[in-house]
Chains A and B, each alone.
Chain A
Amino acid sequence: MTPTTDNTLPVAATPLLKVEDLEMKFPLHSALLRRTIGWIQAVRGVSFSISPGESLGIVGESGCGKSTLAETVVRLTTPTGGSIVFNGRDVTAAAGGDLRRLRRDVQMVFQDPFQSLNPRMTVRQLIREPMQVHRIGTVEEQQSRVAELCDAVGIDRRLIDRRPTTFSGGQRQRIAIARALAPKPKLLVLDEPVSALDTSVQAQILNLLNELRARMGISYIFIGHDLAVVRQVCDRIGVMYLGKLVELGESETLLEAPRHPYTQTLLSAVKALEADGSIDLTENLPSSGEVPSPKNPPSGCGFRTRCAYATDECASDSPELLDIGSLQEVACHFPLKLTDGSSRK
């Protein structure tokens, strides 16, 4: 397994994870008879792949389905459609031993380390538990790996027998990362891992994640809502809107020359806030309004209700995620011209 550097192209021939047309919908029940009266379409046909050592970011606003996507990829839920192939094995409906093996190879880090760590367990127990569950190594080997992992994530070994309540949020997230790394996974799914942390601590964790990937060569799926944060860690970024990937591409290209109007909207909002000095908040954004409900997504393109460039075609035909060259894929009938994108830099 070799870690990809920034310049290495994702090799589609041997992906670590290949997700195709993934779909996840949840039934809505009527209050009285619990009859199914509709569906929340959280993930609506998402396809992507990740190479060994690669880091893919998934960004989107609340309710876009990014967390459901993460949970489905690690098979905390079983998808209602599509396929997940991990390391050459189809794990879409894996159960029993197959599922256990998958969980050893794919680990997850959650947003809130105040809730994701059992307060009754010590740091030593927390980090060792995944190795016990997966029967990895002898007791001595497990103990020495716990100590190694503490060093790797920057937790003082002397504090190893304390419980998580005595640690700050940033330190707890380090413990959660050590625990996820314990069974030597090939893929780490990080669901908003720094969103609950303060800015200064967030920077520590982002640096740690970059360092760990460089050292261990594992792959990341990094779910986030903050483009600047996701870019810091990810080689490629996928932008989700209403359960679909609307744009997928190499981080720098995507952020410098977004081709989907939604990506452009997100970027201009971030840039409006990032601008130096006092900014003109009265300047109109390319799109206004709010995200439609996933219970009842609009026909055709999901973004058309907020898109400044929408036409009749956007209401009738749902755009597919298509390769538009330079390793960028976009799901739009009228992708922005490169000049539009680059002029926004």
Chain B
Amino acid sequence: MLLQVQDLSINYASSAGRVHAVDNLSLSVGEGEIIAVVGESGSGKSSVGLAIPGLITASIATISGSIWFKGEEISRLPSHDLRKFRGKEISMIFQNARAALNPVRTVGDQLLETLQTRDKDLSASRARARALELFELVGISDPITRLGAYPHQLSGGMCQRVMIALAVSLDPSLLIADEPTSALDVTVKVQILQLLKRLTAQIGTSIIIITHDLNVARALADRVAVMYAGQIVELGPAVDVLKTPKMPYTQALFQSLPRLGGERGEQLAAIPGQPPNLTAPPQGCRFADRCPHAANICQSAPELFGITDSRKARCFFPHDSLLRAQTSFNQPEEPKAAIS
């Protein structure tokens, strides 16, 4: 295992009380594996991504649990020692690439700085050659001119390519991509996903992709972890989870997604209600309030039960819920419908 996250909990202090953003989360990532962490806003998915390279400090949150990377427990390392992992072993790309780049320096400068900071012996000419090679790797046309460009001179898609070049410049073993395509237009989005997929094949990097977009997860990932209200509620191979979801939340999320292939004008199966308030999360199943199948037992907290060797779901009724979901979600007059 390249990365192992065990019982990770993250609580943020807020004026409304402690926000239990992530609750006892365990996740592992293998060599060369692409895993997608899927969830809606506030599900805790970005907190997980930030916690792995130690970017959430004790001053803003209480973190418990452990994070193991290549056999070393990096969650216990002081910040100074973590630096040798950041960039070289674990690197990150963010949603808004232009905001993540320095606006007053050329993208070439920023790439050269990264290369030369980590390898003091690297000569200027070799660094430049490596930079050109990286720009070509991420599909930036006319790389020589583009090295001299400022971020504002590049399009959003191009900035994201620069970010990816920066992120892979030190050959990291793990790339954490937090909503890398959410700010991009659909044609560019496909290009960036193609690039990420090609990179894993070419340089063998593992990727954790954090996204709200089920289609992105399906297009890219080997395995999917679906998060809801700070917990993983479903985990398994992407093809299986996204084709035959077992947890009612995953099912509902799929059915609420408008698709070109669906019937036009038909009522979308919206999920009624709101996610729970994480300053006081429910004792039982966190989705129970919005779940069409909730029963008395759901007042106690379900574990992430194993369904098959590779699949898990945090639900007391994972097996038969799919069938029941299809019948109940398709009825136009759903009793719990949000719109009256």
Contact = CB atoms under 8 A, between A and B. Distances in A.
Interface string B245-278: 0000000110011111110110111111010000
B212 A269 contact: no
A61 B157 CA distance: 12
Interface in A214-243: 225-229, 231-232
Interface residues of A, number: 51
Contacts of B238: 278
Given A207-B339, A273-B219, A62 B243 contact: no
B12 to A, nearest CB: 18
Interface in B191-229: 191, 193-194, 197-198, 212, 214-216, 218-220
Given A232-B258, A252-B264, A269-B190, A281 B40 contact: no
B270 A198 contact: no
A251 B215 CA distance: 22
B270 A225 contact: no
Given A206-B268, A208-B339, A281 B185 contact: no
B155 interface: yes
B219 A227 contact: no
A265 B264 contact: no
B258 A285 contact: no
Contacts of A337: none
For A169, A200, A226, which residue has the most chain B Cβ atoms within 10 angstroms? A200
A89 interface: no
B1 interface: no
Interface string A275-313: 011110110010110110000000000000000000000
B260 A274 contact: yes
A291 B191 CA distance: 14
A314 to B, nearest CB: 19
B187 interface: yes
A225 to B, nearest CB: 7
Contacts of A231: 258, 260, 264
Given A200-B252, A252-B264, A285-B190, A279 B269 contact: no
A273 B271 contact: no
B190 A273 contact: yes
B235 interface: no
A272 to B, nearest CB: 6
B189 A228 contact: no
Interface in A125-172: 151, 154, 168-171
Contacts of A269: 186-187, 189-190
Contacts of B274: 168, 170-171
Contact of B243 (A200, A271, A277): A277
Interface in B16-65: 40-41
Contacts of A290: 155, 157-158, 188
B268 A207 contact: yes
Contacts of A198: 40-41, 212
A211 interface: yes
Given A269-B187, A270-B186, A288-B191, A232 B264 contact: yes
A255 interface: yes
Contact of B260 (A169, A203, A225, A255): A255
Contact of B270 (A201, A265, A276, A278): A201
A202 interface: yes
Contacts of B268: 203, 206-207, 232
A201 B218 CA distance: 21
A252 B260 CA distance: 10
A225 B261 contact: no
Contacts of A267: 260
Contacts of A211: 339
Interface in B298-340: 338-340
B144 interface: no
Contact of B256 (A154, A200, A276, A277): A200
Contact of A266 (B187, B212, B259, B267): B187
B239 interface: yes
Contacts of A277: 218, 239, 243
B71 to A, nearest CB: 31
Contacts of A61: 185-188
B40 A200 contact: yes
A287 B256 contact: no
A6 interface: yes
B219 A232 contact: no
A210 interface: yes
Contacts of A228: 257-260, 262
A154 B260 CA distance: 27
A134 to B, nearest CB: 27
A115 interface: no
22 contacts: A61-B185, A200-B40, A201-B270, A202-B256, A203-B258, A204-B270, A204-B339, A206-B268, A207-B270, A210-B265, A228-B257, A231-B264, A266-B187, A273-B193, A273-B216, A273-B218, A274-B215, A277-B218, A278-B239, A279-B218, A282-B197, A288-B191
Interface of A: 6, 61-62, 151, 154, 168-171, 198-204, 206-208, 210-211, 225-229, 231-232, 251-252, 255, 265-267, 269-274, 276-279, 281-282, 285, 287-288, 290-291
Interface of B: 40-41, 155-158, 185-191, 193-194, 197-198, 212, 214-216, 218-220, 238-239, 243, 252-253, 256-262, 264-265, 267-272, 274, 338-340
Given A200-B270, A228-B258, 19 more contacts: A154-B340, A169-B41, A199-B257, A200-B252, A203-B256, A203-B269, A204-B339, A207-B270, A208-B339, A210-B265, A226-B186, A231-B260, A252-B264, A255-B260, A269-B189, A273-B219, A274-B259, A281-B197, A285-B191
- Give 3 closest A-B pairs by Cβ, nearest first: A203-B256, A203-B270, A61-B185
